[in-house]
Amino acid sequence: MSTKDGPLGDLKVIEMGHVIAAPMCGALLSDFGADVVKIERPGEGDMLRVLSARARDGVGVWWKTLARNKRLVALDWKSEEGREVLRRLVTGAHVLIENFRPGVLERAGLGPEVLHGWNPDLVIVRISGYGQTGPRASWPGFGRAGEAMSGLAHITGFPDNAPMHPGFPAADSTTGLMAAYGAMIALHAVQSGTARGQVVDLAIFEPLLRLIDYHVPTRTGAGLRVDRNGLQAPNSYAPAGVFRARDGKWVTITAGSAETGRRLLAAAGGKDWAEQPQFRTLEGFAEHMDEIVERLGAFVARHDAQEAIDIFRKHDAVAALIYDVDDILADPQIAARGDIVGVEGDDTKVVGPVPRLDRTPGRLRWLGRRDLGADSRAVLDELGFDAGQIDALIDKGILGEPGR
């Protein structure tokens, strides 16, 4: 398995994470060639292995995508001999990713001061529920707690019903994305001579807090609350909604300005309606939103979904079919972009590397594999351990490999 390809082909990453956030960070780096060595506990492995449906070969599909392109080492890094293996890995690495509760590494004698003693240029990415500092640092926290604390759940759903979490682990996934971003910023600081290795400290609520972006300035700058608004745009300034078409499919409609809003109205109700004076400003749209939503819904209901979308498109207005996964897999635009990829000999398909680079694109080299410690022997061999030393570590249960 070659890891020497892609724009990050010279980057060595140690992933000590588990479940979603840290593995997502490692996967994003591995997509572009980073040599990611994922460390799991012998005999146990990452819980992610069993947290999803199984593919036909018995391997968890979530594991296949989040452990893609990674080399797998089963290591008890809390033992004295396992610590020496980790020391050698750290000495030659650029990035270490972990998402344990704050204090776990310190209690094992592996806090940042120790790791930086081994490698002063190491970038240490630390992901936790509430961050490494503050009064809640020691609290346990999962993704849903982050979705709650960021405000995402509060602004999602209908005003007369309960707050809603999204249908995917938004906090964990966005934290993995932000962690990869943070790692690359810190690496640039090392390479430019701005700083030596440092700690990237991420709480799982912070990426969503940053990406939502508008709720804090809306409250502090305009004095307005941002609350659940159903299927409408934030604060109902621009027309938007999700409407059921005659054929039972769902269409989402949105506008980002008074001008694009008038295009929606012209498509659904004609030019005379769209050019009424109250629709010259977004404030006018907001004052007449109930009427707009009612008429847009009635228009979509009279047409099949694709027919309605085609009419909106003729008016240069934005409308789209709400896809399920089968729509995604059948869509020609997604296919043309090469967004769904796989590997030879495996039916499981995954979402390919994003973003698209025209000269140094990312690549799916292999999917996450079943065997715990699949690369333990090869990685330790690269670190200078001889066969006898490796066998001794396996016999003691400090190192794991397939079948042992």
> Residue 117 sits in a domain of what CATH number?
3.40.50.10540
pLDDT mean over 111-134:
98
Of 123, 53, 70, 55, give the one whose Cα is nearest residue 93: 123
Residues 6+ apart with CB under 8 A from 224: 218, 235
**pLDDT at position 239:** 86
Q: Is residue 404 predicted with pLDDT exceeding 90?
A: no
223 domain-assigned: no
Q: The domain spanning residue 270 has which CATH number?
A: 3.30.1540
Q: What is the pTM of this model?
A: 0.94
SS3 call for 15: strand
Residue 403 pLDDT? 86
Cα separation, 362 vs 270, whole angstroms: 46
Angle between helices 258-269 and 305-314 (to 10 degrees): 130
Q: Is residue 221 part of a domain?
A: no
pLDDT digits (tens, 9 = 90+) for 317-330: 999 999 999 999 99
pLDDT in tens, 80-118: 999 999 999 999 999 999 999 999 999 999 999 999 999
Confidence band for 4, pLDDT divided at 50, 70 and 90: low
At 192-232, the pLDDT tens digits run 999 999 999 999 999 999 999 999 999 999 999 999 988 88
Within this chain, do residues 292 and 376 fall inside the same structural domain, yes or no? Answer: no
Examine the fold and report which residue of 260, 288, 321 is the final residue of a domain before the chain moves on: 321
Adjacent-strand bridge partners of 71: 37
Q: Could you report the per-residue pLDDT of 351-396, keeping only the tens digit for each?
A: 999 999 999 999 999 999 999 999 999 999 999 999 999 999 999 9
What total number of domains does the chain contain?
2
Q: Is residue 259 located within the same domain as residue 140?
A: no
Residue 330, domain member (yes or no): no
Q: Which domain holds residue 288?
A: 234-244+250-321
Are 120 and 57 contained in the same domain? yes
Query: 172 catalytic, yes or no?
Result: yes
202 in the same domain as 316 = no
In a domain, 328, yes or no: no
How high does pLDDT run on average in the chain?
95
Catalytic residue among 31, 172, 201, 375: 172
Task: Round to the nearest angstrom and report the end-to-end CA distance of the chain.
Answer: 22
Residue positions counted in the chain: 404
List all residues 6 or more positions away from 373 whose beta carbon is below 8 Å from its beta carbon: 40, 42, 72, 73, 74, 399, 400, 401, 402
Q: Is the pLDDT of residue 1 over 60?
A: no
User: Mean pLDDT across the stretch 61-67?
Assistant: 97
Q: Is the pLDDT of residue 237 over 90?
A: no
Q: Is residue 217 part of a domain?
A: no
Considering the domain architecture, whether residues 80 and 191 belong to the same structural domain is answered as yes
Assess if residue 216 is contained within a domain.
no
Determine the pLDDT at residue 3. Answer: 45
Q: Are residues 288 and 146 in the same domain?
A: no
Same domain, 90 and 193: yes
Within a domain: 226 = no
